[in-house]
Amino acid sequence: MKDLIAYCGLDCEACEARLATLRDDEALRQKVAALWSQLNGVEITPEMINCLGCRVEGVKFPYCESLCPIRQCALSRGVETCGDCGDWEGCKDLEAVIGSTPEARARLKGEA
């Protein structure tokens, strides 16, 4: 599986936080911070929008780095992605992502 597919199946390669980091694009950081703040009901500042991807070396968005229960579980189980875990289809944490992003589910199943 591509290294830029997150443990949950999201495509880090297309993530605007990653693109803002790669391009050092302050305007895109501000856009992403505003959107993510609104979607998550917490303050996210443009300075927090620095990430190279969930499963690759380098900087990560603070939530993904240490708070994401999906990433922490996958790391503790030593799986490449949640699709490699026998319990993934019943996982309540993962359902929050794959329930709203069908492409992520398809990636974990190896269909995308």
Whether 32 and 17 have beta carbons less than 8 Å apart is answered as: yes
Structural domains of the chain, count: 1
Say if residues 74 and 7 touch (Cβ distance below 8 Å): yes
pLDDT tens digits for range 52-99: 999 999 999 999 999 999 999 999 999 999 999 999 989 999 998 999
For 60-69, the pLDDT digits (tens) are 999 999 999 9
pLDDT of residue 110: 87
Residues 6+ away with beta carbon under 8 Å from 82: 7, 8, 9, 70, 73, 74, 88, 91, 94, 108
> Is residue 6 assigned to a domain?
no
CA distance 110 to 82: 11
Examine the pLDDT at 1 and tell me if it is beyond 60: no
Mean pLDDT of 11-20: 96
What DSSP element (H or E) covers 32? helix 26-40
- 2 located within any domain: no
Domain span at residue 58 reads: 12-109
44 Cβ neighbours under 8 A, 6+ residues apart = 33, 36, 37
The answer to pTM > 0.85 is: yes
Residue 70, domain member (yes or no): yes
Q: Are 46 and 29 in contact (CB under 8 A)?
A: yes
